[in-house]
Amino acid sequence: MSNPVRVRFAPSPTGFLHLGGIRSALFDYLIAKQTGGTFILRLEDTDRARLVEGAAEAISQSLDWLGTGPNEGIMPDGSQKGDYGPYIQSERIDIYREYADKLLSKKALYPCWCTPERLDNLRKDAQKAGVAFKYDRHCLDNPKTMDEPHVLRFKIPSEPKKVAWHDLVKGDVEFKTDDLDDFVALKTDGFPTYHFAVVVDDHLMKISHVLRGDEWIPSTPKHILLYLAFGWELPIFVHLPQVLGPDKTKLSKRHGAKPALEYRDEGYLPEAVVNFLATLGWNDGSTQEIYSKDELVKAFSLDRIQKSPAVFDSERLAWMNGHYIRELTPEALLERSKGFWPGEAADYPDEYRLGVLELVQERLKSLGELVELTDFFFSDPKADLSQIKGFDPTEIRQHLTALAKLLAATEWSHDGLESALRGYVDEQGLKTGQLFGLVRVAITGRTAAPGLFETMLVLGQETTLRRLDLASK
């Protein structure tokens, strides 16, 4: 694929974007970037009843966070860029009206005054009869006056008998025109439906490839018929397989799907999310698992997108995020970790935090775990010594007191600490793991923590001795 594509991501601002939506946008971004093409962000806000305040901003922010934003249409700052705007559908109603009139005069569209009640009854009848609902064209034969509120329906033509297209991922798909319903193109309120707006916009904006979820396959024949009615050239359709939740149904809010920005707030790295999403439903045929964004731009191809749906595996995302965290230099990690530290960390210098990071970096699966993993570096823990096995309380106190004395006179270096502690173990005839475990709980408050000597070095002599002392009381 070398011709520059023009693709678009066209969410409706009715809520947050989850990872499934983000993946569609990512595919848009990748193919546009690869071909030197254009990635347009358009807002489909024709359903004014479902608009959600701030949703548009959240969508832009999500893409911006991942560094996979558009280069035309709605830009991150909310401005619009490009020659085919406006890119917000509610600002284009005159355009839709104009094109609807064209079809109206061609009799491809016809007015309908039917009430919701009548339509409901029709549907029930169809349900009862076990057939697909199709509008009965009552208003075509019984017209009222155009002054009365009405919608404009698309008259499904009797020819062609079949509507077929070659989908770039699904292959040949075919529908019988007979099964299609005279769908509404223009609503009573003058706004277009999705079907009408998407066709008009995609054509006017010179979209070459329509990437969208495969839940749109059933409405694609309607769109094609609309293109035909206008006499317009068809874009290439690329229907993306669904991203499924753990329950194997379409990823949705009410099935554990989180807003994309929540992953940011939990400390997922954009490069991990991008890598994970790109390889969910796409692969280049190799066994490569880790891809930088540049590698993805080079390797990506629409024809290797999977036909079958993919279950979103958060374990895999977590693994990948951990991988990317480990790949960061400590300095870069420090930079990225802003806002994820325990509150008390604010009182400590970068130098100190860098030391802490070096110890926990390989343990982090997300930056959000920083608080849990590092709080004892910034405030004295409550050491519950009852969890120590193999010592009775008196012994514990004796050991801690002796160690405090010993370490007060120890050179504060890795080797110094090691020889002091190991020497103590030998001298007392103890087991290494046993004694180290005791000290670990005393100074970190937990049984699982970074290496003992490394931890003590970061903590410093004063703090270490204080905690030993505290624990022995």
Partner RNA sequence: GGUCCCAUCGUCUAGCGGUUAGGACGCUGGAUUCUCAUUCCAGUAACCGGGGUUCGAUUCCCCGUGGGACUACCA
Interacting residue with RNA among 451, 460, 462, 469 (CB under 7 A): 451
User: What is the DSSP annotation of 232-296?
Assistant: PPPPEEEEEPPEE-TTSSB--GGGT--BHHHHHHTT--HHHHHHHHHTSSB--SS------HHHH
Q: Does 313 bind RNA (CB under 7 A)?
A: yes
Q: How far is the CB of 346 from RNA (least distance, A)?
A: 25
Interacting residue with RNA among 2, 83, 130, 254 (CB under 7 A): 130
Considering only residues 2-61, where is the footprint of RNA by CB under 7 A?
10-12, 14, 44, 46-47, 50
Task: Report the SS3 class of residue 73.
Answer: strand
Interacting residue with RNA among 175, 237, 340, 376 (CB under 7 A): 175
Interacting residue with RNA among 201, 214, 271, 375 (CB under 7 A): 214
Q: Which is nearer to RNA, 36 or 433 (CB)?
A: 433
- In sequence order, which residues have a C-beta less than 8 Å from that of residue 199 and are 6 or more positions away? 223, 226, 227, 230, 232
Considering only residues 366-425, where is the footprint of RNA by CB under 7 A?
none
- Could you say which of 144, 253, 307, 405 is catalytic? 253
Q: Does 188 bind RNA (CB under 7 A)?
A: yes
Interacting residue with RNA among 308, 349, 382, 415 (CB under 7 A): 308
Q: Does 201 bind RNA (CB under 7 A)?
A: no
Phi then psi dihedrals of residue 72, to 5 deg: -155, 160
Distance in angstroms (rounded) separating the CA atoms of residues 316 and 277: 11
Interacting residue with RNA among 297, 310, 402, 470 (CB under 7 A): 310
Q: Which is nearer to RNA, 36 or 146 (CB)?
A: 146
Question: Which of the stretches 31-39, 308-316, 347-355, 383-391 binds RNA when contact is defined by CB under 7 A?
Answer: 308-316
Interacting residue with RNA among 84, 227, 230, 319 (CB under 7 A): 319
- In sequence order, which residues have a C-beta less than 8 Å from that of residue 124 and are 6 or more positions away? none
- In sequence order, which residues have a C-beta less than 8 Å from that of residue 123 and are 6 or more positions away? 133
Considering only residues 324-363, where is the footprint of RNA by CB under 7 A?
326, 362-363
> Is position 253 annotated as part of the catalytic site?
yes
Distance in angstroms (rounded) separating the CA atoms of residues 213 and 309: 10
CB 279 within 8 A of CB 291: yes
State how far the alpha carbon of 357 is from the alpha carbons of 39, 331, 369, 446, 454, in Å: 38, 9, 12, 18, 12
| Beta strands 236-240 and 209-213, pairing class | parallel
Nearest to 179 by CA among 126, 240, 227, 230: 126
x/- track of binding to RNA for residues 260-299 (CB under 7 A): -------------------xxxxx-x-x-x----------
# residues contacting RNA (CB under 7 A): 88
Q: Which residues are catalytic?
A: 253
